[in-house]
A and B are shown apart, each in its own frame.
Chain A
Amino acid sequence: MPLLFLLPAGVLVIAFFIWPVVNTILLSLTNLSTANFGNPDFVGLDNYSTVLSDRWMPRILGNSVFYLVATLAFFNLGLALVIAVSTSFIPQRAADGIRLFWLLPRITSPVVFVLIIQGLLAPGPYGVLSQLTGVSQSWINAYPWTVIVFANGIIGASFGMLIFTASIKSIPDEQFQAAAVDGASQMFLVRRVILPQLRWPILFVTAYQSLALLSSFEYIMLLTNGGPGFYTTEVWSLWAYSEAFQSYSGTARFGLGSAMVAGLVVVALIVSLIILRLFRFNDLVTKPKIEVN
């Protein structure tokens, strides 16, 4: 009987999560491409050795890690915390207005958002920044990483902001009042009252956003497409996408692309484990030593 109730969800999970993973792994063992679609050959681990022996693989892996850490630290966590904490000390209406403003980039379509960024950063006579500074250059080409981290970050910040705001709101008022009676400054409140109670949400946002950042490449693709130059801003997921699907002549190598995506799954697992260790996940889920009623 319980199995029957699990069936609908189970079917969906198998069809849309488990089967694609299995299929990807199967595909990654073949040389499937647009040129041999009817009859791919089994090539074993050749695709994996191609990926691992690629001389630019370390650079692309490094790029992915840099992109992940920089975007997370500065924006998805850092800026999100700053907005959440600072807006919890100002009047409700103003705070809501500020948070709504930060949601705008997230509800803008990625393509439109990138077009706006490109318009701001284009060389003269059109680019806004070129006009303001008097230096006519393609700012995206001049500072590709800064632009990518910034563009992704101001979108990513809103996610953490919402979660952290909700968590701060759920901290009982008595704690703030008690701290105020003891003469705590606002900085002290943030350090000793708010942040310790945000460990769970911070863990969640870090883990969730890391995986999201690892697999998302649409903003990078639209802004620089991995350039300018030689894999300057190419991250792993974009590399897999361009190897598998993007080519001027429509030649796509699905087998190789699948191997790269399978590699991405491994990278994602490692990142998740590091995050869980970093936050001492086991301590977080141990039973509380005293019962609070």
Chain B
Amino acid sequence: MAFIRTTMLATASVALLAAPAIAQDTITLEAWTVGPDDPSEPRADNLERAVEALNGTLEEEGADYRVEIETDFDTSDWDSYRRRVLLSFESGDAPDIVSSAHIDVAPWSDAGFIAPLDSYIDGNDRFDDIVPALWDAVTYRGSRWAIPQDTEARPFYYSKPLLAELGWSDEEIDGLPDRIESGDFTWDDVISVGREAVEAGVVEEGRGYWHRPVNGPDFWQFMLLHGATLQDPESGNLVYDPEVGEEVFAMFETMVEEGVLTPDINGMSWNDFHAQTSSGESVLFWSGGTWNWAEWATGQVADRGGNEYLQETIGFALQPQADADVGPLTLSQPHSYMISESSEHKDVAARVLAHAQDPEIERHHFLTTLRPPVLQSSRELAEFEDDWFISRIAYMADYSGFQPLHPSLGVYSENYYRVLTAVEQGEFDAAMAAEILAEELAGDLGDAIEIR
């Protein structure tokens, strides 16, 4: 028996030496990714491409294993995707790679769900191509927990035909982004032009300016525009300044009172919102995201000419200045890949992510989603220069603010949005709202928030 076993072992070793390709291990990784918008599918596809590239590298190295990956792309919504991910983390059987917004780094690393990636990042020069500023968005408590996958901006959109109807010349319309960037066209102008449009009958009451219909990161922009500090760099605590809050609430109160913004916006369906804004026929100004452009082109205005129609009809700029000391800005919420703590193949998963840092692979993503790429070398690609939309929004990265990384950011954000909708409904005036928010935050967050 022992003799037979030895013989078999010997035979096997010979076979291994003779044909390394025959006896290989296959390591199967699992990756969950999310849009939730359809055009973001490359978040899953690109991992498959990266695995192909990695297997090529492994062959060159003569490694005794190959990698397979099972990807899943979620198009439901953030809330249900995050819950699904959390449940899988809690079950201890999470996918090896998870994609999510950079803000999830804080709660997920605190809970011990995701692995710190410093050693993998430092040990692989493929990660050096990532735009350095983006590492800030995934650094928490001194470690990097995620690999930035794309970035974005949240433009202030406007309807060109409606401005023309208001008597603006083509030069004035096309020059608006520059005026906003230089601080010459401010939020006060948004309100006065919006009111003018309503009074002139160019748009219906309440359609001068729209913000998104449900809570989301956009609303931090208005805090930032008024000079808010959202996190204390020393303690890491969240920060709320009631004086800034009052300025923000007063701005929205004025917009509702002047008939520029309808309080009915809250709770409107996304479909309605996109249909009304992207047509360029009924809403003058609105805040949105760069990824909306791809959604509108392939969705709402596809039958009107898609991209070409949008280029003629919709303009975009930074969120206009509200405070001269701050100037115009936008908010970016970089999407990123994380590796779960429970993964048995963290090193292999990190190598897959390293191989995804390839301008050829990334090109596919930014051309479909119109989200600015994260690789410096991608920004030198001809397609990047040639893409009408991307090349025109690239400058926004220089004006980009991020949300603070804190496990209780969600509680802050829910409270802030709830008070804001109450202001728009006329339940509270700005001063009262600022005070109520301070009390709510102090009650909900305790030591985690500093009220200034």
Instruction: Report A's interface with B, CB cutoff 8 A.
Output: 34-38, 50, 53-55, 118, 122-123, 126, 136-138, 140-142, 224-225, 227-232, 245-252
Contact = CB atoms under 8 A, between A and B. Distances in A.
Contacts of A247: 79, 410-411, 414
Nearest to A123: B264
B413 to A, nearest CB: 6
Interface stretch (B144-152, B185-193, B266-274): B266-274
B410 A248 contact: yes
B264 to A, nearest CB: 4
Interface in B52-88: 78-79, 82-83, 85-86
A34 B86 contact: yes
A250 B439 contact: no
B111 A34 contact: yes
A50 B411 CA distance: 15
B422 interface: yes
Given A34-B86, A37-B111, A225 B79 contact: no
B79 A246 contact: yes
Given A34-B86, A141-B263, A249-B82, 4 more contacts: A123-B268, A229-B266, A229-B427, A232-B425
B264 A138 contact: yes
Main secondary structure of the interface of A (DSSP, over half): loop
Among B216, B267, B268, max chain A CB count under 10 A is at: B267
B266 A37 contact: no
Nearest to A127: B272
A227 B104 contact: no
Given A224-B267, A230-B418, A249 B428 contact: no
B307 interface: no
Contacts of A137: 264
Contact of B266 (A53, A228, A250): A228
A250 B419 contact: no
A129 to B, nearest CB: 13
Given A35-B110, A37-B90, A228-B425, A50 B443 contact: yes
Most A CB within 10 A of own CB, among B83, B264, B414: B264
Contacts of B428: 230
A151 to B, nearest CB: 14
Contacts of B246: none
Nearest to B83: A250
A245 B410 CA distance: 12
Nearest to A224: B267
A250 B421 contact: no
Contacts of B263: 141, 228-229
Nearest to A126: B272
B82 A250 contact: yes
B231 interface: no
B107 A35 contact: yes
A142 B262 CA distance: 12
Contacts of A50: 443
B446 to A, nearest CB: 10
Pick from A34, A136, A225, A247 the residue with the most CB of B within 10 Å: A34
Contacts of A138: 264, 267-268
Given A50-B443, A230-B418, A230-B425, A250 B79 contact: yes
Nearest to B409: A249
B423 to A, nearest CB: 8
A55 B79 contact: no
Given A54-B443, A122-B272, A248 B267 contact: no
B79 A35 contact: no
Nearest to A144: B267
Contacts of A36: 110-111
Nearest to A53: B443
A143 to B, nearest CB: 12
A110 B308 CA distance: 40
Contact of A229 (B216, B409, B413, B421): B421
Contacts of B422: 229-230
A141 B266 contact: yes
